[in-house]
């Protein structure tokens, strides 16, 4: 199904499509090009589909296990960003830059970073002008230094200028996520603990930010409420019979990850005795409390630490023997990395 919005210089098609994810990927769906090759991006925006996917496997899911989920992404964030910035057209470029003028350009770093967002940046430019030639010099996950080129682009100057800010916005935000993730990953190196993200993401950008976490060497926690069970303290307000609930969950969702949050040693003692629980989350505990809880480990149980995690504390937390450390900072407050576009006429 779709909706169309028209005005004198702007044609936007929102094309809704269901995506199915199985254990391998959560498919990232873009929108199909609709016969607009060569049109001026200052006067038309066409949403199109990109034939690629963003792999996503929830933490704690062993290899070979299938996780079924159905997710609707009604609007692509790339298209939202283009519409938000360009609106009815790039007036400045339309008046100052001849339609046939051509340029070559490069996007380069202005700070040390771990790259993320190159594919999305390419999607921005190709959506505006499929004839642009784009070459990625440093793919996602690469370290990059000030002055180094991330991406090269050639084609119509109007198209490049129109997409510049949207492409840079994605790169700078996503590279901020991957860069801080890499710092956390390096801080726990050799301990066996794995760094996880959380659901504390920018609305509408979760799958992009989680891809950036992977580019930085981290792992994804659950994508949403649909692909894992996380029992938190507020879920226990009604005092459910946890053993019965977990048994029912296992019957209906035999392969789904089940995790429970504990904020005391006594809770951990109870939870490790419940058959069917995969992960116990140790919430806002000191390293000493974590060690005491981890000593209760039985076969099949893993432990995750959360709360009070920073670059200053993460090593000590990892050395307690936890399997996972979830860090909200990776996505909710990662500082953006500065990138710029440099152009020269062909």
Number of domains, the chain: 1
Whether residue 26 is contained in a domain is answered as no
CATH code of the domain covering residue 320: 3.20.20.70
Task: Please give the structure tokens belonging to residue 167.
Answer: 């492409």
Residues with catalytic function: 165, 200, 232, 261, 283
Whether residue 38 is contained in a domain is answered as no
Global pTM?
0.80
Cα 264 to Cα 234, 291, 297: the distances in Å are: 15, 12, 15
Per-residue pLDDT of the chain (346 residues; tens, 9 = 90+): 333 322 333 333 333 333 333 333 322 322 333 333 444 444 433 333 333 334 455 565 544 444 444 556 667 899 999 999 999 999 999 999 999 999 999 999 999 999 999 999 999 999 999 999 999 999 999 999 999 999 999 999 999 999 999 999 999 999 999 999 999 999 999 999 999 999 999 999 999 999 999 999 999 999 999 999 999 999 999 999 999 999 999 999 999 999 999 999 999 999 999 999 999 999 999 999 999 999 999 999 999 999 999 999 999 999 999 999 999 999 999 999 999 999 999 9
Task: Please give the structure tokens belonging to residue 336.
Answer: 């953006």
Place of tokens 């576009």: 341
What is the extent of the structural domain holding 207? 185-332
Backbone angles phi, psi at 253, to 5 degrees: -130, 75
CA-based nearest residue to 179, from 13, 333, 46: 333
């Amino acid at each position: 199904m779709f909706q169309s919005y028209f005005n004198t210089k702007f044609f936007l098609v929102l094309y809704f499509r269901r995506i199915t994810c199985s254990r391998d990927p959560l498919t990232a769906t873009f929108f199909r090009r609709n016969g607009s090759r060569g049109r001026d991006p200052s006067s038309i925006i066409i949403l199109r589909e990109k034939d690629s996917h963003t792999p996503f496997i929830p933490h704690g899911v062993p290899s070979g296990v299938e996780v079924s989920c159905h997710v609707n992404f009604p609007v692509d964030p790339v298209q939202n960003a283009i519409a938000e910035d360009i609106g009815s057209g790039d007036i400045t470029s339309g008046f100052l830059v001849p339609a046939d003028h051509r340029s070559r350009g490069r996007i380069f770093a202005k700070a040390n970073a771990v790259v993320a967002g190159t594919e999305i940046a390419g999607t921005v430019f190709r959506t505006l002008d499929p004839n642009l030639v784009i070459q990625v010099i440093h793919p996602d996950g690469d370290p990059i230094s000030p002055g180094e080129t991330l991406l090269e682009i050639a084609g119509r100057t109007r198209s490049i200028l129109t997409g510049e800010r949207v492409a840079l916005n994605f790169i700078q935000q996503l590279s901020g996520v991957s860069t801080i993730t890499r710092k956390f990953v390096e801080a726990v190196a050799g301990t066996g603990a794995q760094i996880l993200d959380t659901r504390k993401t920018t609305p509408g950008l979760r799958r992009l930010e989680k891809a950036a976490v992977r580019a930085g060497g981290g792992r994804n926690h659950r994508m949403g409420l649909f692909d894992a069970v996380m029992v938190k303290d507020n879920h226990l307000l009604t005092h459910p019979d946890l053993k019965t609930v977990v048994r029912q969950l296992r019957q209906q969702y035999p392969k789904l990850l089940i995790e429970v949050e504990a904020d005391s040693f006594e809770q951990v003692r109870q939870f490790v005795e419940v058959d069917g629980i995969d992960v116990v989350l140790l919430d806002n505990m000191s390293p000493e409390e974590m060690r005491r809880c981890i000593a209760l480990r039985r076969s099949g149980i893993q432990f995750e630490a959360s709360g009070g995690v920073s670059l200053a504390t993460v090593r000590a937390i990892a050395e307690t023997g936890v399997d996972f450390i979830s860090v909200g900072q990776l996505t909710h407050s990662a500082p953006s990395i500065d990138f710029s576009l440099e152009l020269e006429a062909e």
